[in-house]
């Protein structure tokens, strides 16, 4: 749902009961009879830890109140019928097919995110037939807030519940479902994804961020005590067209893999261990990388590029741990922060860490763009405690930590700055840490 009042455009979440009603009505309109139930899976915003998932590092997403909701009925004949109310830019929003036609690269377009999940569940040994589904969503598509994972995860959870594939309330089983969703996206939709989005949509809990160790899949629920301390998270969707995001994502992954290889590690997370959490340790790793890359015949420019990419992974990992410590201390009320004593001081100390993360993504990992830089600096100029781009980069969204009650003023200033720069008008979302995927009815 979109609201404007002459000022900033807000993308509002809708109450789950209303979304469930809409999905059930869409189902009844397209597929005779009623659905067996209605499920919801959230989009996510990553608070910090960007491009670390495929490097085996820690990430810290939270589930948004904005969700994808599906009314679903399973079938036993392998037929798949899906309708989505999403505006898919002229693509048909009704799709019918058969499980036997689903596999790597097929079907194409948005149905891959639905059909791919059934294929991946079968590949994982589960006995699933077809389905009828009707999908509504308040997660903006392509805004870096994981509408793709929300769609996969709502389908996975619905099918798992209906076909009794496992204990859907157990985190361990949800991790299995997330893995199937990752396969669906990587292999059927042929979109690179590292695994954070699906874990967030399925494994987040309300009022917490999810600390995910991407190497092991282990998760820790990190309290996010913002509202009670007068703080809030504001998501700013730049609505910038994604520029060559696919190729750039691939080249960042390739650079990370190359750097890890030159250092003799499987993943860059092991270079983080090697650095031992100190600035001197990080410098030692980077200088070893310089030497190894030069010896391997990499040109001078490539050597420096690999060093910058690796530096982002090292410093970003440290920032994730810093934010987790600050939030944990704030929740325990045991905080002595740079900006004072007490929970609020600790939360406010998260702000500069977010801003440092943005600088690292802009300068070292080079995944930002003018639209993202403008919204982050405008938010800070308007009083935000810190802001950073979030998600894959090259467009999409940014997240700002703000004082509660200033959201409208910050959004107005960000909107004005974006328009002044000749960029598209951004849209805004309130990021209340919400529950992970669940059955609504």
Least distance between ligand ADP and beta carbon 112 (Å): 8
Q: What are phi and psi of 236, to 5 degrees?
A: -120, 110
Tell me which of ligand ADP, Mg ion, none is bound by residue 137, counting a contact when its beta carbon lies within the kind-specific cut-off of 5 to 8 angstroms: ligand ADP
Token pair 């669906």 in the structure block, residue: 184
Taking the complex as a whole, how short is the minimal distance between the CB of residue 233 and ligand ADP, in angstroms? Answer: 17
- Residues paired with 295 in a beta bridge: none
- So which residues are the catalytic ones? 197
User: Least distance from C-beta 422 to ligand ADP, angstroms?
Assistant: 24
Q: Which is nearer to ligand ADP, 95 or 365 (CB)?
A: 95
Q: Report the relative pairing of strands 2-3 and 9-11 from DSSP bridges.
A: antiparallel
Return the DSSP state at 230: T
Q: Which is nearer to Mg ion, 145 or 326 (CB)?
A: 145
Return the bridge partners of 397, or none: 237, 390
C-alpha separations of 181 from 91, 94, 245 in Å: 23, 21, 21
Rg of the Cα atoms in the chain = 22
CB atoms within 10 A of CB 34: 11
CA distances, 191 to each of 71, 110, 155, 249, 396 (Å): 25, 11, 18, 10, 16
Q: CB-based burial of residue 14 (10 Å sphere; 0-12 exposed, 13-18 middle, 19+ buried)? A: middle
* 28: exposed, middle or buried (Cβ count in 10 Å: 0-12, 13-18, 19+): middle
Asked whether the beta carbons of 251 and 367 are under 8 A apart, the reply is no
Beta strand 386-390 with 219-223 is: unpaired
148 or 317: whose CB is closer to Mg ion?
Answer: 148
Q: What is the binding site for ligand ADP (CB under 6 A)?
A: 68, 84, 86, 88, 110, 113, 135, 137, 141-148, 151, 191
- Shortest spacing between CB 118 and ligand ADP, in angstroms: 15
Choose the binding region for Mg ion from 80-88, 102-110, 127-135, 143-151 (rule: CB under 5 A): 143-151
Residue 413, both tokens: 């200033």
Structure tokens at 309: 């990419």
144 binds, among ligand ADP, Mg ion, none (CB under 5 to 8 A by kind): ligand ADP
The reply to whether 198 sits near Mg ion by the rule CB under 5 A is: no
Tell me whether residue 44 or residue 362 sits nearer to ligand ADP (CB atom).
Answer: 44
Query: Which CB sits closer to Mg ion, 57 or 194?
Result: 194
Q: Report, in Å, the least distance between residue 117 CB and ligand ADP.
A: 12
Phi, psi (deg, nearest 5) at residue 93: -105, 10
Q: Which does 128 bind (CB under 5 to 8 A by kind): Mg ion, ligand ADP, none?
A: none
Residue 135, CA distances (Å) to 72, 90, 164, 361, 435 in order: 9, 17, 21, 34, 19
Instruction: Give dist(CA 102, CA 62) in Å, integer.
Output: 31
Distance CA 347, CA 353 (A): 11
- Where does residue 140 rank: exposed (0-12), middle (13-18), buried (19+ CB within 10 A)? buried
Nearer to ligand ADP, 38 or 145 (CB): 145
Among ligand ADP, Mg ion, none, the one that 145 touches (CB under a kind-dependent 5 to 8 A) is ligand ADP
What's the min distance (Å) between Cβ of 138 and ligand ADP?
A: 9
Q: How far is the CB of 83 from ligand ADP (least distance, A)?
A: 9
Residue 144 Cβ vs ligand ADP, minimum distance, rounded to whole Å: 5
For residue 74, the partner it binds in ligand ADP, Mg ion, none, with Cβ less than 5 to 8 A by kind, is none
Among candidate residues 256, 248, 250, 192, the one with its CA nearest the CA of residue 369: 248
Task: Report how far residue 29's alpha carbon sits from residue 6's, in angstroms, rounded to the nearest whole number.
Answer: 35
Q: Which residues between 147 and 166 bind Mg ion (CB under 5 A)? A: 148
Give the residue with the Cβ less far from ligand ADP, 84 or 214. Answer: 84
- Select 39 or 113, whichever has its Cβ closest to ligand ADP: 113
Query: 69 contacts which partner out of ligand ADP, Mg ion, none, CB within 5 to 8 A by kind?
Result: none
# of chain residues touching Mg ion (CB under 5 A): 1
- Among ligand ADP, Mg ion, none, what does residue 143 contact (CB within 5–8 Å per kind)? ligand ADP
Q: Which does 360 bind (CB under 5 to 8 A by kind): Mg ion, ligand ADP, none?
A: none
Return the residue nearest Mg ion (CB atom). Answer: 148
Strand partners, 11: 2
Sign of the torsion angle spanned by Cα atoms 201, 205, 207, 208? negative
Report the interface residues with Mg ion, using CB under 5 A. Answer: 148
């Amino acid at each position: 749902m979109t609201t404007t009042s002459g000022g900033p455009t807000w993308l509002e979440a809708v109450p789950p009961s209303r979304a469930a009603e809409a999905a059930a009505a869409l189902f009844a309109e397209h597929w005779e009879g009623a659905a067996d139930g209605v499920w919801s899976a959230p989009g996510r915003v990553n608070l910090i830890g960007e491009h670390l998932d495929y490097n085996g590092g820690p990430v810290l997403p939270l589930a948004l109140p904005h969700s994808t909701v599906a009314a679903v009925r399973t079938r036993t004949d392998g037929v798949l019928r899906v309708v989505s109310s999403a505006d898919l830019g002229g693509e048909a929003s009704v799709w019918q097919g058969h499980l036997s036609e689903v596999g790597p690269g097929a079907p194409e377009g948005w149905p891959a995110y639905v059909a791919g999940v059934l294929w991946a569940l079968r590949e994982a040994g589960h006995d699933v037939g077809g389905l009828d589904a009707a999908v509504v969503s308040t997660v903006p598509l392509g805004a870096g807030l994981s509408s793709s994972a929300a769609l996969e995860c709502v389908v996975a959870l619905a099918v798992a519940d209906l076909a009794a594939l496992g204990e859907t309330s157990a985190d361990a089983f949800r991790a299995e479902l997330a893995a199937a969703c990752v396969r669906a996206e990587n292999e059927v939709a042929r979109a690179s994804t590292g695994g954070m989005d699906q874990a967030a949509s399925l494994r987040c809990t309300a009022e917490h961020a999810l600390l995910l160790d991407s190497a092991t899949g282990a998760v820790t629920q990190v309290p996010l005590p913002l509202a009670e301390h007068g703080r809030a998270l504001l998501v700013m969707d730049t609505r910038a067209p994604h520029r060559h995001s696919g190729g750039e994502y691939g080249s960042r992954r390739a650079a990370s893999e190359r750097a890890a290889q030159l250092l003799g590690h499987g993943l860059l997370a092991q270079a983080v261990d090697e650095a031992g959490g100190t600035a001197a340790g990080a410098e030692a790793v980077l200088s070893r990388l310089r030497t190894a890359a030069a010896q391997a015949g990499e040109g001078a420019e490539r050597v420096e590029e690999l060093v910058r990419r690796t530096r982002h992974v090292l410093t970003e990992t440290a920032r994730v741990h810093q934010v987790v410590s600050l939030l944990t201390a704030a929740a325990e009320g045991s905080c002595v922060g740079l900006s004072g004593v007490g929970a609020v001081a600790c939360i406010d100390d998260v702000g500069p860490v977010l801003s440092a993360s943005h600088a690292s993504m802009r300068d070292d990992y080079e995944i930002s763009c003018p639209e993202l830089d403008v919204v982050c600096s405008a938010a800070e100029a308007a009083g935000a405690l810190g802001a950073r781009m979030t998600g894959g980069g090259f467009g999409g969204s940014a997240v700002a930590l703000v004082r509660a009650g200033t959201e409208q003023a910050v959004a107005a200033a960000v909107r004005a700055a974006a328009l002044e720069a000749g960029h598209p008008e951004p849209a805004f979302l309130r990021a209340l840490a919400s529950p992970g995927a669940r059955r609504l009815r």
